[in-house]
Amino acid sequence: MDYALKLSKEFTIRADHSANIIALIDDGNTIPFIARYRKEQTGSCDDQVLREFADRLKYLRNLDKRKQEIVDSITEQGKMTDEIAIALAKAETLTEAEDIYRPYKQKRKTRASVAIEKGLSPLADFILEQGDGSATEKASEFIDEGKGVSTVEQALAGASDIIAERISDDAELRKILRKKVAEVGEIACKLLENENAKTYDMYADYAEKISKIPSHRILAVNRGEKEECLKVSVTVDTEAFINAVCDIYVKKDNECGEIVKNACADAYTRLIFPSIEREVRSDLTEKASEQAIKMFEVNLRPLLLQPPLKGKTILGLDPAYRTGCKIAVIDSEGNVLDKGVVYPTPPQSKIEEAKTVLLALIKKHKVSVISIGNGTASKESEIFVANMIKESGIDVAYAVVNEAGASVYSASKLGAEEFPDFDVSLRSAVSIARRLQDPLAELIKIDVKSIGVGQYQHDMPEKRLEEVLGGVVEDCVNSVGVDLNTASQSLLSYVAGLNKGIAKEITEYRKTTPFKRREDLLKVKKLGAKAFEQCAGFLRIVGGNVLDNTGVHPESYSAVEKLLTAVGYTLDDVANGKIGDLLSKIEQKGWDNTAKECGVGVPTLKDISAELLKPGRDIRDSLPKPILRSDLMDLNDLKEGMEINGTVRNVIDFGVFVDIGVHQDGLVHISQISDNYIKHPSDVLKVGDLVKVKVLGVDTVKKKISLTMKTTDLPHGIAVGNQKTDRERKQGRENAERKRDNQKKQMSNDDMVALLMKKFGR
C-alpha cells in the first residue's frame, strides 16, 4: 500500500508532506519535535493532526500485516485464488479482512463441520444447485450407519447445516447486512430487577436508531448492562432481512429451494445476526469510547494550560470535617513555608481559633491568595474563608480549585519522595496550593485519568486512554517549555525525547553542576545526540545565552545570527528587548528573501522572529486569569433570570458545567449554549473559559442548577425539576420519528434486496 498517497488524501495534505511525516516518524522523531521544528517538511501540520496521522498510519500497517497473515494461511491450505487476493487487496478494514478469511479459518467444532465429517458436503452441493432432482431421493444415498447418518432426515439436516454455514461465511453478504443493520437497526433496552436499576429509569423501554444514538448514551447503556440493570439488544425487521438473504440464494420453487430457504433463515438467525449484532455494538462502543477520549483530550488541554498565578504566596487548604482542614503555605517558587491543621468545620467548628491561625499565617508570610480544594467540606470551608476575609478586611482573595486526583498524588511514591515527613493530607494541601500557582507543573504529577474532566473514564480502554492523554500532556509541556534547572523530574519526563530515566539523570546532574547552556545536556548520562535533538528546543535556561531561554532550537542558532546581522541587531539587543521593529525590517527585505538568506524556511523564520521578540515568554500568560473571589453566594441565593460570571469546568457531549461560585456547578445544556445551532459544545467552549450565564432554574433538593448562555428572551417557568417532563417530550418525539422510520422501512428493505442483487450480479 502507498501509505503516503492514501494518507495525503485522507488528511488533505500534499503527498510529499505525507511522505515526509512518515519518514520522520519512522526515524524516531517525536510528535512535538516534528510539529515545532520540521514545519517545512510537513506543511506546518500541528501536533493534533500529526498524532491522528500517526494513529491512522499504525492502523493501516496493522491491517496490511493481518492481510499478509491471511494470505499466508490460505495459501498454506492450497486454497488461494485470484478472486480472494483481489478481495483482500480491496478490504478497507480489519473486519472486512476477517470476513474474507472466515471460510478458511480453523473453526471450533460446529454443526456444519460435524456434517462435513459425515461426508454430507456433496449432498449440500446438490441441494444448493436446486436442480430438478429430488433432495429426499438424493439424501437416501448418504445413509451410512457407520458415519452416524441413520435416516434421510438426518442427512438433509446435516446438509442444511453445511449450507447455512456457507451462507454465513459469505463475506460480501455480511458486509452489506452489517451496513444495513447499522442504518435501520435500533438499540433497545429493558430495565431489569436490580437494586441499582433506578439509576437507569430513563432507559426503561428505551429504543433509538443506531445511526442516531449519541456516544454518551451508548456508554450509559453499556454501563447499565455491565451492572446487570439493563438488557440491551439490537433490533431489526428480521423477516425482511431473511427475505433479502433468500432472494440471493433461493433459485427455484422446488424441494431443494425450500431447503435452501430454511437454511437461509437458520444462517441469518443462528449465525449471521448474532455475529453482526456483536460487531455493530462493538463498533458503536469503540466509536463512543474514541469520542469520550476525545472529550478528555479537549478538556485536558486547556486545563493543563491554565495561566499560572506567578509571584504569589499561596495558602492551600484541604477541607475536611472530623480530621480538620490541612493547610500549607507555599512561596512564589512552590516551596513550603508553613503547614498546620485548623478545625473550622463540624463537628469541632472551632471557627475563631481557625481564624486566628490563618490570619497569623497570612500576615507572617504575606499570603496573597487562598486556594481551597473542592472536595468534602469545601462549601463550609469556603464560607469560613469568605467570612474571615470580609470580617478582617484583609487584602486576600481566594479560589476554589478542582482537587481531583490530589489524594492519588498524596499517596503516591512521588508524593512520598517530595514530602517524606508530611502525612498524606498535608501533601494534598501543598498540591492544592500549587495547582493554582502552576497547574501544568502540578497536574502532570498525577494519573491524568484522575484529573476529573470528561465522562465515563473508567469505561474506556485503558491503554488507548493513557496513550491519548499522555500525548496531550506531552504537547502541553512542550508548547510551554521547561526550565532545565528547576523543573521537577515528573515535568522533565514529558519533554520530547526524554523519559523518566533520563529525567532522573538530569536532576542528579544539576545537583552539583547547574546547566549554563543547552549543550551541557550532552554531558548527562543516557542522553545521546538523538535525545538532545528532540528535547533541546523545549528546555529553557535563564541567565545565560538569551537564545537558550527561547523556543529557538540550537540547530537554528546560526540562522539567528544571520538574521540579526541582516537587520542590524545583536543578541544583546534581543536580551534587552530592543528589537521592536524586527518584523517591519523583515517585511522590507521580504520574508522569502530573508528566509533564503538565513538558510531556513519561512515558517521557521516566523517562529524564530516570534521567539526573539519575547524571549522567556510563557504562552499561558496571554490566557484569561483564574477568577479570584472574596465573597460567595449560596445555592438558595440564586434566582431565575440572574446573570452571573462563571468558569467552564467540564465540557461533555450534551453541554458544559460552569462554576458560578456557589459550590455546585451549573449545567448549560447544548441547546442553551448559543442562539445559533452548534454541533458540539466543544465547538465554542473549552475548560477554563470565562462566560456570562443566566439562571434558568434551580432544584435545591437535587442541588441542580440549569443555566443558559443565550442572549434571546427566555421562556418563563423553566426549571431543572422539569427534567422528567422534558424526557417525556423527547420520548414522544422519538416515538413519532420511529413511526416514520417504520413507514419507510419497507422501502429500505426493498433497497437492501436490490443492493444485494446488484452486488452479487443476480
pLDDT tens track for 573-594: 999 999 999 999 999 999 999 9
Please report, in angstroms and rounded to a whole number, the separation of the first and last CA atoms in the chain. 32
Q: Give the pLDDT confidence of 278-317 residue by residue, as tens digits.
A: 999 999 999 999 888 888 888 888 888 888 988 899 999 9
Given the C-alpha cell 536580551, which residue does it identify? 575
Which domain, by its residues, includes 31? Answer: 3-75
**Closest to 227 measured CA to CA, from 264, 268, 191, 175:** 191
Please tell me the predicted confidence (pLDDT) of residue 731. Answer: 52
**To which H or E segment does residue 206 belong?**
strand 206-209
Let me know how many helices (H) and strands (E) the chain has, helices first.
32, 15
Strands 186-191, 230-235: pairing is antiparallel
Please tell me the predicted confidence (pLDDT) of residue 462. Answer: 82
Q: What's the rounded mean pLDDT across residues 330-335?
A: 92
Residue where a domain terminates, one of 52, 75, 98? 75
Please tell me the predicted confidence (pLDDT) of residue 632. Answer: 60
Rounded Cα gap, residues 570 and 589, in angstroms:
18
Kindly state the DSSP code that residue 629 receives in the 8-state scheme.
B
Q: What is the mean pLDDT of the chain?
A: 88
**Closest to 682 measured CA to CA, from 647, 657, 652:** 652
Q: With respect to residue 384, please indicate whether it lies within any of the assigned structural domains.
A: yes
Burial of residue 340, with CB atoms counted within 10 A of its CB: 0-12 exposed, 13-18 middle, 19 or more buried: middle
Please tell me the predicted confidence (pLDDT) of residue 444. Answer: 85
What are the grid coordinates assigned to 313, written together?
504566596
Q: With respect to residue 451, please indicate whether it lies within any of the assigned structural domains.
A: no
339 phi and psi angles, rounded to 5 deg: -155, 165
Task: Please check the confidence at residue 724 and state whether its pLDDT lies above 60.
Answer: no
Please tell me the predicted confidence (pLDDT) of residue 641. Answer: 87
644: Cα within 13 Å, side-chain hemisphere: 29
Rounded Cα gap, residues 731 and 721, in angstroms:
17
Q: With respect to residue 412, please indicate whether it lies within any of the assigned structural domains.
A: yes
Please tell me the predicted confidence (pLDDT) of residue 620. Answer: 84
Task: Please check the confidence at residue 330 and state whether its pLDDT lies above 60.
Answer: yes
Q: With respect to residue 537, please indicate whether it lies within any of the assigned structural domains.
A: no
Lowest mean pLDDT among 388-392, 425-429, 495-499, 604-608: 425-429
**Closest to 281 measured CA to CA, from 230, 219, 238, 237:** 219
Residue 402's CATH number:
3.30.420.140
**Closest to 19 measured CA to CA, from 49, 53, 46:** 53
Please tell me the predicted confidence (pLDDT) of residue 180. Answer: 94
Kindly state the DSSP code that residue 622 receives in the 8-state scheme.
G
**To which H or E segment does residue 24 belong?**
helix 15-26
| Strand, coil or helix: 220 | helix
Q: With respect to residue 546, please indicate whether it lies within any of the assigned structural domains.
A: no
Rounded Cα gap, residues 330 and 437, in angstroms:
9
Residue where a domain terminates, one of 51, 75, 99? 75
**pTM exceeding 0.75:** yes
| Strand, coil or helix: 2 | coil
Rounded Cα gap, residues 105 and 444, in angstroms:
46
* Spatial CB neighbours of 379, under 8 Å, sequence gap ≥ 6: 663
Task: Please check the confidence at residue 735 and state whether its pLDDT lies above 60.
Answer: no
**Closest to 317 measured CA to CA, from 356, 346, 343:** 343
Give the bridge partners for 339, in sequence order: 328
Number of domains composing the chain? 3
Q: Max Cα separation, the chain? A: 105
Beta strands in 384-493 (DSSP E): 397-401, 482-483
Task: Please check the confidence at residue 741 and state whether its pLDDT lies above 70.
Answer: no
Burial of residue 365, with CB atoms counted within 10 A of its CB: 0-12 exposed, 13-18 middle, 19 or more buried: middle
Q: Give the pLDDT confidence of 125-136 residue by residue, as tens digits.
A: 999 999 989 999
Task: Please check the confidence at residue 504 and state whether its pLDDT lies above 80.
Answer: yes
Q: With respect to residue 649, please indicate whether it lies within any of the assigned structural domains.
A: yes
Using the CB atoms, write b or e for 566-598: b if 16+ within 10 Å.
ebebebebbeeeebeebbebbeeeebeebbebb
Given the C-alpha cell 480472494, which residue does it identify? 84
Long-range CB contacts (< 8 A, 24+ apart) of 43-50? 43/13, 43/14, 43/17, 44/603, 45/11, 45/13, 45/17, 45/21, 47/471, 47/475, 47/479, 48/475, 49/11, 50/21
Residue type, position 175, single letter: K
Task: Please check the confidence at residue 719 and state whether its pLDDT lies above 70.
Answer: no
Kindly state the DSSP code that residue 570 receives in the 8-state scheme.
-
Residue 47's CATH number:
1.10.10.650
Give the bridge partners for 693, in sequence order: 644
Q: List the 186-191 sheet strands across, edge first.
A: 206-209, 186-191, 230-235
What are the grid coordinates assigned to 392, written together?
478582617
Residue where a domain terminates, one of 437, 471, 503? 437
Grade residue 375 by pLDDT with cuts at 50, 70 and 90: confident
Rounded Cα gap, residues 570 and 596, in angstroms:
20
Long-range CB contacts (< 8 A, 24+ apart) of 619-622? 619/305, 619/479, 619/480, 620/305, 620/306, 620/307, 620/308, 620/440, 620/480, 621/307
Per-position DSSP letters for 391-411, written without gaps between them: HH--S-EEEEE--TTHHHHHT
In degrees, rounded to 5, the angle at the alpha carbon of residue 344 between the alpha carbons of residues 343 and 350 is 75
**To which H or E segment does residue 123 belong?**
helix 121-129
Please tell me the predicted confidence (pLDDT) of residue 234. Answer: 96
Handedness of CA 470, 472, 478, 483 (dihedral sign): negative
Please tell me the predicted confidence (pLDDT) of residue 631. Answer: 65
Q: Are 731 and 666 spatial neighbours (Cβ–Cβ below 8 Å)?
A: no
Grade residue 457 by pLDDT with cuts at 50, 70 and 90: low
Q: Give the pLDDT confidence of 78-106 residue by residue, as tens digits.
A: 999 999 999 999 999 999 999 999 999 88
Please tell me the predicted confidence (pLDDT) of residue 142. Answer: 95
Please tell me the predicted confidence (pLDDT) of residue 717. Answer: 35
34 phi and psi angles, rounded to 5 deg: -60, -45
Q: Give the pLDDT confidence of 602-633 residue by residue, as tens digits.
A: 999 999 999 999 998 888 877 767 767 666 66
Please tell me the predicted confidence (pLDDT) of residue 169. Answer: 94
Rounded Cα gap, residues 673 and 693, in angstroms:
9
| Strand, coil or helix: 659 | strand
Given the C-alpha cell 474474507, which residue does it identify? 100
Handedness of CA 237, 241, 247, 252 (dihedral sign): negative
Grade residue 455 by pLDDT with cuts at 50, 70 and 90: low
Q: With respect to residue 150, please indicate whether it lies within any of the assigned structural domains.
A: no
Q: With respect to residue 518, please indicate whether it lies within any of the assigned structural domains.
A: no
Please tell me the predicted confidence (pLDDT) of residue 750. Answer: 54
Task: Please check the confidence at residue 722 and state whether its pLDDT lies above 50.
Answer: no
Q: What's the rounded mean pLDDT across residues 143-147?
A: 92
| Strand, coil or helix: 630 | coil
What are the grid coordinates assigned to 383, written together?
464560607
